[in-house]
Amino acid sequence: MSNFFGTDGVRGVANEELTPELVYKIAKAGGHYLKKDTDKNTRPTINIGKDTRLSGDMLEAALVAGFNSVGIDVNKLDIIPTPGVAYLTEKMDVIGGVMISASHNPIADNGIKFFDKDGYKLSDETENEIENLILNQLDNLANPTHEKVGRVNNKESEVKKYIDHVLSTVDGDFSNLKVVLDCANGAAYEVAPKILKKLKINLKVINNTNDGSKINVNCGSTKPEEVANLVKNTGADLGIAHDGDADRVIFVDEKGNIVDGDTIMAICALDMLERDKLKKKTLVTTRYSNLGLKELLESRGAKVELAKNGDRYVLKRMREKGYNLGGEKSGHIIFLDYNKTGDGILTAVQLIDIIRRKGKKLSELSKVMNFWPQKLNSVKVKYKEKWQENEKINKEIKNAKAEIGEKGRVFVRASGTEPVIRLMLEGKDEKLLNKWEKKLSKTIKEELN
C-alpha cells in the first residue's frame, strides 16, 4: 500500500498532514513522471482545478511551484468540478491534470487527485512509481533554468467546454420540471446551476456560494435533509445533492425520499438496456452495492460485475472488459461514453432525461429496486492489524456464511482510516442477519480488545 496515495489520491488535513512542502514534492515527482514521454522540444503543460476549500489557494501555489520547477507550464482552471478537470484534460493538449479537493470530507481536509493525459485517474502502479521518485530520487531531478522554467496560464474560461459537453448528452424540452439543487458550497456552485438553467428547468438552488468555510457543512450529498424538505415544501419533481467536488450525487424523489447510488444505477442501467445502449448488458459496481441490484438486472437478462471498492477500480474493470456503465452506492456513477470518472452533474442530467422521456415520477422509477435486508456495524477495536489471523473470528465468520447461505453474504474488513472492523451482512432472512451481526460483533470485540 502506498504511503501517500489512498483509494482516491493523496488526502489529509491541509497544512498539517498535507503540507505545501509535501504537495511541492508530489508535483515535482508527478510532473517529472507525466512528462517523461513528451518531446524534448515541446513545452509540457498540466491542468489544475480546485474546489472552494480555504486551503485550495495554498496547495495550488505549491503545485504550481513544483510543476514549474521541473519545466512544466500550468493551466489554472480555477474552481471546477473534478469531472470537469478529467474531461478537459482529455480534450486539451496537456500531459495530465490535477484536482485539489477532499470531495465530501470536512473543511480542514484537502486532497490531490492526478489524471493522465487521457483523463483517467492514475493506476496503483503509476502512483507507486511517483512515490518512489519522491522518497528516493527527488534531489536528482533536473531543474531547468532560463526560458525552460514553467509558467502559468489562466484558463478559467475552458470550463465552458465541459458545460457544453454535458448539455450535448441530452436534448428535449425540460421546462416543465421543477428541481431543487444543493451545490454543497463546493466545486459545483456555479457550473451545476448554469447547466440546469440552460435546460430551462424550473430551478431552486441552495448552498451555491464560493465560501470554502461552508463546503459540505450540513449540506450536499452527505446531508440531503435540507433538499428533501424543500422538495416536499415546494412541490418539486426531485432534488439533487452534490458533494464538495461534484463527482458524486444523491437524489431525492418528489415525496422527499432519498434515492441512493444503487437505485440510480438500477434506473440508468435498465433504461440503457431498453435502448440497447448498455454494453455487453453489464453494470460494474462494488461489493457494497445491495444484492437487490444484482437480482434485478439478472431478472432482466443483464448482469452485475463487482470491482474493488473505489470508483477508479470500477473504471479499471469497465476499461478492461469494454463496459460503459458503472458506479458505487455512494453516488459515484461513471458513464464511460461521456466521461472518464464519476460525474455527479452528468448523472443528474441523465436521470432528469429519463424522467422526461418516460414521463414518470422519480418515486415510480425507484420502485424497480427491491433492497435485500442489510446489517452494517463498525466495531471499535484496539488491535485491528492481524484480525484475519484470529482463529475464533475466522471460525465465527465461516459459521455465519454457512447459515446465511449462498444467496446472502458476510463481509468483514478493517477500516483503512479508523481503529474499526466493519461488518456487512446481507440476505433475505433479517432474523438470521441480526443473530449473526450480534455474534460476530461480540467475538470481534472480545478478541481484538
Q: What is the pLDDT of residues 410-430, one digit of tens each?
A: 999 998 767 899 999 999 999
Residues sharing a CB contact under 8 Å with residue 232, sequence separation 6 or more, in sequence order:
255, 256
103 annotated active-site: yes
Q: CA dihedral defined by 10, 14, 18, 21, rounded to 10 degrees? A: 130
| Domains of the chain, earliest start first | 5-156 (3.40.120.10), 169-366 (3.40.120.10), 374-448 (3.30.310.50)
- Could you tell me the three cell numbers for 87? 474531461
Residues sharing a CB contact under 8 Å with residue 346, sequence separation 6 or more, in sequence order:
83, 166, 169, 335, 338, 339
- Report the mean per-residue pLDDT for the chain: 95
Which residue among 55, 103, 221, 330 is the active-site one?
A: 103
Phi-psi region of 167 (alpha: psi -120 to 50; beta: other; left: phi over 0): alpha
pLDDT at 61: 98
Q: What is the pTM of this model?
A: 0.93
Q: What is the pLDDT of residues 354-384, one digit of tens each?
A: 999 999 999 999 999 999 999 999 999 998 8
pLDDT at 310: 87
Q: What is the pLDDT of residues 264-275, one digit of tens each?
A: 999 999 999 999
Specify whether the CB–CB gap between 297 and 278 falls below 8 A: no
pLDDT at 2: 57
Q: What is the pLDDT of residues 167-220, one digit of tens each?
A: 999 999 999 999 999 999 999 999 999 999 999 999 999 999 999 999 999 999
Mean pLDDT of 246-270: 97
Q: Cα angle at 446 between 445 and 448, to 5 degrees?
A: 65
- Could you tell me the three cell numbers for 12? 489529509
Q: What is the pLDDT of residues 123-163, one digit of tens each?
A: 999 999 999 999 999 999 989 999 999 999 999 999 999 99
pLDDT at 1: 44
Q: What is the pLDDT of residues 58-100, one digit of tens each?
A: 999 999 999 999 999 999 999 999 999 999 999 999 999 999 9
The residue with greater pLDDT, 5 or 94, is 94
Rounded distance between C-alpha atoms, residue 68 and residue 45, angstroms: 9
Torsion sign over Cα 199, 183, 210, 77: negative
Q: What is the 3-state secondary structure (H, E, C) of the chain?
A: CCCCEECCEEEEEECCCECHHHHHHHHHHHHHHHCCCCCCCCCCEEEEEECCCCCHHHHHHHHHHHHHHCCCEEEEEEECCHHHHHHHHHHCCCCEEEEECCCCCCCCEEEEEEEECCCCECCHHHHHHHHHHHHHHHHHCCCCCHHHCCCEEECHHHHHHHHHHHHHCCCCCCCCCEEEEECCCCCCCCHHHHHHHHCCCEEEEECCCCCCCCCCCCCHHHCCHHHHHHHHHHCCCEEEEECCCCCCEEEECCCCCEECHHHHHHHHHHHHHHCCCCHHHEEEEECCCCHHHHHHHHHCCCEEEEECCCHHHHHHHHHHHCCCEEECCCCCEEECCCCCCCCHHHHHHHHHHHHHHHCCCHHHHHCCCCCCCEEEEEEECCCCCCHHHCHHHHHHHHHHHHHHCCCCEEEEEECCCCCEEEEEEECCCHHHHHHHHHHHHHHHHHHHC
